[in-house]
Structure 1
Amino acid sequence: MSAVISLENLTVAYRRHPALHHVSGEFARGSLTAVVGPNGAGKSTLLKTIMGQVRCNSGRVVTHLAAERIAYLPQQAEIDRSFPISVLDCVLLGYWARAGLFRRISRDMVQRAEEALAAVGLGGFAQRAISSLSVGQFQRVLFARILLQDAELILLDEPFNAIDTRTAGDLLRIIQSWHAEQRTVIAVLHDYDQVRKAFPQSLLLARNVVAWGETEGVLCHENLHRARSMAEAVDEHAPLCAVDVHDAGHEGSAPR
């Protein structure tokens, strides 16, 4: 299978201490991959680097898709819900990459947004303010927005964090439907049992790649023990990482 994302000797450092260290590998087109590892392993940093929100210090990310074909769901803690916007308008932002700021929202677009809300279990919520929603309800709204984006690559940072079991199950079924449609999904997760049951591929990080491949082999006892040991051995007072301070950039190319 062809690669959607290629990581080539990627190093990302904060204050010259590595958050990701010499990471190489590929996410195959149509794959469903969980990114797992101890706290501070670089999982969220990896997604932000793929999105170009964090600059790499050496190596590079090669994206084999146009930017508008990528959807990104950050952690809820990074989203300001105090902005006075309705559920429907929040979902309609899924058209942003294709429609831009000034294109008129058509009745057909509104209908598709309402259908997306129904698909995530929020029929009838269109005019509610996003500030009035629970954490789980707002996560459903964000998934409805991704449905409108019709992306080929979907990046999810802790999509099940702090939500109830029923909502997590509903959203997991949506993720599995994306996988069935041959979309590429990469999700940062913490629940290893959930990963084993629902995610065929896994990337185990501890700043370095511990293991990457089929989940059954990646999440073996030896690898998990190694990841914990690597995370616990990190010394924040160690000598600075000798990375190339001349950023290699975030490179991308649309498919031809």
Structure 2
Amino acid sequence: MIELDHLVAGYHRQAITPSLSGIIETGSMTAIVGVNGCGKSTLLKTLAGFIPPVSGTLRWMAGRPTIGWLAQRHALESQFPLTVQDVVSMGAWPRISLLKALDRGVRMRVAAALERVGLSSMARVTIDQLSGGQFQRMLFARVLLQQAPLVMLDESFTGVDEATRRVLMALMTEMNRQGQTLLAVLHDSQRVSDYFPETLHLKAEQAYWGSTQGAAFA
């Protein structure tokens, strides 16, 4: 899916990651791991196209797909007067006009996504009333509705309860089994070793692909 050729990620031409080469295969489930400050989130944002590479290249081997993005809860987002249902419905926007009312099919998909993340009873609750775990479940429901071929998760388990982590991890595994490619920045070494067949380890001077054995987490 993505071929990296001596890719270096960073900001304002200042490198943060070491040079990276390799391929992220279609249908894979890959964790990006390493100590704090090694550039995991910066790399993910570079792959998503939010920031340009400092050097090197990345190539989409079959064209750039739609990307589902799931990050940590952002404090600013909760200030908008939206309901849980409103936010999840945004996952349908790539397929419908922003000004078009949601049809019955989309409303049913929204309801199904909310049920899968355990938020059916909170569809009309405003997002400022959600806990951190509930907020992440809502964002994941939006990604489920989007049905993107590639889903990127940037430290999405940080600050949420263990029950939410288990729910999200089960859904991620199911999505991968259905053919979606997943790429996630994670800190939990046990979760990575239990669920992610591929890992990309980042260190200050080098990066390597492989198993979770001997990985450094923080």
Is 1:8 aligned with 2:2?
no
The 5 A counterparts of 1:215-226 are: 215=211, 219-221=212-214, 224=216
Question: Could you tell me the percent identity over the aligned residues?
Answer: 38
Paired residues of 2:46 and 2:52 also in contact (CA < 8 A) = yes
Give 2:139's match in structure 1, choosing from 120, 136, 142: 142
Deviations 1:52-77 (A, max 9, x none): 11111211222246556211112223
For residues 29 and 88 of structure 1, the distance between their equivalents in structure 2, rounded to whole angstroms, comes to 31
Paired residues of 2:44 and 2:152 also in contact (CA < 8 A) = yes
Is 1:191 aligned with 2:188?
yes
Give 1:102's match in structure 2, choosing from 86, 99, 102: 99
Paired residues of 1:68 and 1:97 also in contact (CA < 8 A) = no
The structure with the larger Rg is 1
* Runs of at least 5 residues in structure 1 that lack an aligned partner in the other structure: 229-256
Alignment TM-score, normalising by the size of structure 1: 0.79
SS for the counterpart of 2:78 is coil
Deviations 1:146-181 (A, max 9, x none): 111011110001121111111111110000001111
Partner residue, 2:121: 124
Paired residues of 1:68 and 1:98 also in contact (CA < 8 A) = no
For residues 209 and 94 of structure 1, the distance between their equivalents in structure 2, rounded to whole angstroms, comes to 37
How many residues matched? Answer: 218
Equivalent residue letter for 2:128: S
C-alpha RMSD of the superposition: 2.0
For residues 206 and 83 of structure 1, the distance between their equivalents in structure 2, rounded to whole angstroms, comes to 38
The 5 A counterparts of 1:1-256 are: 4-64=1-61, 69-77=66-74, 80-207=77-204, 209-213=206-210, 215=211, 219-221=212-214, 224=216
Alignment TM-score, normalising by the size of structure 2: 0.92
Shift of 1:195: 0.7
Shift of 1:93: 0.4
* Runs of at least 5 residues in structure 2 that lack an aligned partner in the other structure: none
Paired residues of 2:72 and 2:136 also in contact (CA < 8 A) = no
| CA 16–68 in structure 1, closer or farther in 2 if over 3 Å, else same | closer
Deviations 1:109-165 (A, max 9, x none): 111101100011111211000110000001110110011101111000112111111
Shift of 1:101: 2.3
Stretch moving more, 91-100 or 194-203: 91-100
